[in-house]
Structure 1
Amino acid sequence: MIILYLSLFVQFFLCGCFGYEGAYTLPAFYENILISQHGWLTSDQFTDILYISRLLPDSLGINSAVMGGYLATATKYSTGFSILGGFIALFGLALPSFIWTKVANYYRHRFRNVGEVVISWLRPLAPGIIAAGILLLCTEENFGSITTSPWHFGISLFFFISTLIGTRVYRINPLFMVFLCGFAGLLLF
């Protein structure tokens, strides 16, 4: 009797670990365990479980565990032991979900501040990244050369400084500043 209960628990524990709910794959999975491997049920009994699982709001796994555990022990033992077999199979099926939930909550709780830590590490890097972008854009193609085209260089430098002052000091919308600089560049060039 203990061996049968242990076997029910282990088989349905494995179903809970690896049998993800899918209406088309799980019937074959449970049929393999309940009929082919162990012979706990007949095909008619398993077909009844399939019909009942479509009528009841529970999933196929829960119905298979309860009825499979009950019917597997009902052939050899009394009703009380059969009900216990259904509960053991159901406990074996549900236990992996509780374990996965506990593990996921532990790691979610443990690493809940990771995003804030990463951002706090990146915060000092932001001015350096902006400065690197500015230095990469300060080329002769963008600003011109002071020796070859001083007008182009002076206007580009004026637009750059006025955009920095306008957005930082006067809090002008950066998109509006880009529009103003583009319009002024269209008029001046």
Structure 2
Amino acid sequence: MKRVDLIQEDDVYREYMQRNVQAEVDAYCHHDFRHHLDVARITYILILENNDLNYFIKENNLSGKLAAKEVIYAAGLLHDIGKWQEFEGSTDHASAGSHLAREILPRAFFDANEIDIICKGIYEHRNISKDMSFLGERLHRADNLSRLCLECDSQQDCPKMKNRDKTASSFEY
């Protein structure tokens, strides 16, 4: 997955990841590289386990399985890239991440269609809705599944745990 490697090697991507680390000193869940990679892997697994890869390829007019895998991994690696902007109070991280990803993806040779698919998924991943894209919904589910909330020392104070009844279904797949 050469294009995914190019994202990881991109100086701007690395700068934004470092900004996330610096901004999250007191955060409950950290949005570091491990989290991004977990979300990418879980998203891909969800799609494979439900035999949806061919559907995803056809629905999005992708060139094949490798392109689909790279699109999925790119979305996972970039889905929280704008978290530092949210901590600074300037914008929602999903919206910021979608915008910032558009800066990085062309340098990794993603085409305009692929960039639109990835950025839409990033933009949608924060809140579940009936109108979201296939990738946005899978990213949302993977993002929730990637967290080991029940093993966290901050459960008592965590807003995600306080709203668990509202999000319980997102802990299942």
TM superposition score category, shorter chain reference: under 0.3
User: 1 or 2 for the larger relative contact order (CA 8 Å, sep ≥6)?
Assistant: 2
Larger Rg belongs to:
1
TM-score (norm 2): 0.28
Greater per-residue helix proportion: 1
TM-score (norm 1): 0.26
